Amino acid sequence: MTDGPADHLLFADNVVKTYPDGAVHALNGVTLGVRPAQYVAITGPSGCGKSTLLNMLGVLDRPDGGEVYFRGAPLSQRRDLDHFRAREIGFVFQSFYLIPTLTARENVQVPMFEGPKRTPRARAQKADELLELVGMAKRANHRPTKLSVGERQRVALARALANDPQLLLADEPTGNLDSENANKVLDLFTQLQKDRNLALVVVTHSDEVAQRANRVVKMRDGKIVSDSAAARGAQQ
Amino acid sequence: MYFFAFILKNLLRRPIRTALTVLGLAVAVGSMVALLGVADNVQRSVESAFDTRRVDLIVMQKNKPLGLDSDFGEFFTDEARKLPEVERLSEGVVSNATAKHNEGVMFLVQGWKPDNFGFEDMEVLNGRLLKAGDTYKVMIGKTLASNLNRKVGDTITFTADPDHPYEVIAVFKSRVVFEDGGAIVSFPDGQALTGKKVTGFSIRVKREGGDGAAQIDAVKAKIAALRDPKDKSVQLDAQSPETYVESVSQLKLIKAVSWIVSVIAFVIGVITMVNTMAMSVMERTHEIGILRAVGWPRRRVMSMILGEAVLLALAAALVGAVVAAGGLYALTRSPKVNGFIEPGLSPWVVALGTAITVLIGVAGGAYPAYRAARLLPTEALRHD
């Protein structure tokens, strides 16, 4: 197993993030590589830096030290990070973050304004396909307030897939769901990861979520304290 | 979904705030458009009348900016008539007037000779035109007839001459709003009522195959050089109808007030817009974070906020034009002012009002849009 950025879809190299007061390191030299089609769960206690790491991986925030690479290229040198985020990464959040005035179909189209060029009709058609994929076709014309929390998360998942990204980042995706809905969403994750060869990075407190991943990374105090892939490598 | 639809939904989701912002802006814009409309209507109607009457020059006393203050002797009209370039000349006297028992209605009374240009395009709705030798006879415009509730055969007693009732011999329609709302008497009666000799006169020059420009310039120079031997201090000024209309003090005043109101409306509009859009951005910080997180660049977020501001402004321009048209119509129902104000808005005034309102939208939306675009996705998503 090689460890360089070129061998990974996404590679965080010795990433440091310091809180504004400068006293506390949210991330203290984290190195993590994610390969194509890999399902990685990042776990750890609250405040350990897992969401901060996810923000760095998704270029929602910039590291104070170190580098994040995508397909071997350093992201700090890219000027079109919005464009990169729109086309290469799908996000799923704990609180779904759907736009309340838009229907499910319209919410799914929001990232498409920055995706590959499509006509409004093609955008709507693509949204319908994605809603069908997550089992929400019949609820396409409903606004988020008319959907259950499980349904909202499935719409958010469809939105994350709007521009056919190769990487899906999810922050506590089942944190607001009951076990039945959580299982449905996790089943979708597993299915998508297999069908679309998606790399999936999920930040979670849930053991159930972590068990579904093929790699579990544990964090504490801004550092990775264990990595099941490394453990397997060591055993091999 | 179109991007435009997305912007529209953002406005429609807050119907009360959108409606209040549009209404607030519309009132400001409406008053601006109404005043611009008043000035424009007067200017256009007077210019159009001069054009129809083929008047080349308007002559008034120099340095009498109010126009109504002009007063000079008939020496000037006699001399001007003798000029070889002059084809025809119409003199008149004009003053403000009120009628007994209707003192609240102020109007213009003019004294005209029977060959006045003004009779050429006047439509007599009822009765007959003034003729030579008529005394204590008056023709009234249709607006004044309505305001004073008079018809042909009735009498009007001017407060300036309470001893002589004037018989209404015609109700007419003119293309000049002041004439519609005013009265015309014979030239001698006009001199008696106003206490003036001549207020002004208009000239039609001989064309002699060309556009008459040389003749017009010659007449202007000759009139400027005329001096009454009885009072050498009086000097006249001959102007083209366009220059004359531009220089009429009352019109200049209306225009100045219009532009002052426009500036005030602009400032109020920008403040209203900044307030509305800044509140909207603050309330939607979280949502803007989502948009940024899913890859919307700063320029698209700016376009969204600016688009909302411009849409609000366009709606306000539309409602403002309706408010202005309604306001003008309401004013023209009032006998106190309907002799001076014409209803209706020209497309030019509506376009100008719309352009200023869109500018309000852009100016008022710029700062909130800039603030929204500067939000970092992570900070915006953390915002409660």
Lowest-confidence pick of A2-16, B160-174, B179-193: A2-16
Q: Write out pLDDT tens, residues B278-325.
A: 988 888 888 899 999 999 999 999 999 999 999 999 999 999 999 999
- Interchain proximity A159–B2, CB inside 8 Å: no
Q: Among A211, A197, A203, A222, which residue's Cα sits nearest to residue A29?
A: A222
Q: Do B290 and A99 touch (CB under 8 A)?
A: yes
Question: What is the rounded CA–CA span in Å between residue B301 and residue B291?
Answer: 8
The torsion defined by the Cα of B179, B180, B185 and B191, in degrees rounded to 10, comes to: -30
In a domain, A69, yes or no: no
- Answer yes or no: do B293 and A61 touch at CB < 8 A: no
Residue A206 included in any domain: yes
Kindly report the backbone phi and psi dihedral angles of residue B321, in degrees, each rounded to the nearest multiple of 5, phi listed first.
-65, -40
Which positions in chain A touch B296 (Cβ < 8 Å)? 82, 86, 110, 113-114
Q: What is the DSSP track for A112-131?
A: GGGSS---HHHHHHHHHHHH
Q: What digits encode the pLDDT tens for the residues B12-22?
A: 988 998 999 99
User: How many residue pairs from chains A and B have C-beta atoms closer than 8 A?
Assistant: 71
Inter-chain CB proximity B12 and A101 less than 8 Å: yes
Q: Report yes or no on A5 lying in a domain.
A: no
Residue type, A176: N
Residue of B nearest to A163 (CA): B294
Is there a contact between B378 and A93 (Cβ–Cβ < 8 Å)?
no
DSSP A76: G
In a domain, A17, yes or no: no
The residue segments making up the domain with residue A131 are: 36-48+80-235
Domain membership flag for residue A107: yes
A216-233 confidence digits (pLDDT tens): 999 999 999 999 876 665
B3, B283, B290: best mutation site toward chain A, by most A Cβ within 10 Å? B290
Least confident of A4-18, A136-150, B120-134, B328-342: B328-342
Question: Is A194 inside a domain boundary?
Answer: yes
Q: For residue A65, give Cα distances in angstroms to A28, A93, A226, B139, B295.
A: 9, 25, 22, 92, 23
Task: For residues A91 and A67, give the distance between their C-alpha atoms in angstroms, rounded to a whole number.
Answer: 20
Q: What is the mean pLDDT of residues B21-30?
A: 90
Q: Does B288 touch chain A (CB under 8 A)?
A: no
- Band (pLDDT 50/70/90 cuts) for residue B66 is low
Q: Given pLDDT bands bounded at 50, 70 and 90, which one contains residue A2?
A: very low
Structural domain contains residue A217? yes
Sequence-distant (≥ 6) Cβ neighbours of residue B260 within 8 angstroms = none
When CB atoms are compared, the residue of B3, B13, B298 closest to A101 is B13
Question: Domain tally for chain A?
Answer: 1
pTM: 0.78
Nearest residue on chain B to A88, alpha-carbon basis: B295
Q: State which H helix or E strand residue A101 sits in.
A: none
Task: Tell me if B105 sits within 8 A of B336, measured CB to CB.
Answer: yes
Cβ separation of B10 and A61 shorter than 8 Å?
no
User: Would A60 be classed as within a structural domain?
Assistant: no
The helix (H) or strand (E) run that includes residue B332 is helix B298-332
The span from the CA of A85 to the CA of B298, in Å, is: 13
Q: Which residues of A touch B377 (CB under 8 A)?
A: 60-61
Looking at beta carbons, which pairs linking B118-122 to residues 24 or more positions away fall under 8 Å?
B118/B49, B118/B53, B118/B90, B118/B174, B118/B179, B118/B184, B120/B52, B120/B53, B121/B49, B121/B52, B121/B53, B121/B174, B121/B175, B122/B172, B122/B173, B122/B174, B122/B179
Question: Using the beta-carbon criterion (under 8 Å), do A97 and B1 form an inter-chain contact?
Answer: no
Q: For position A182, which CATH number holds?
A: 3.40.50.300
Residues of B in contact with A111 (CB under 8 A): 294-295
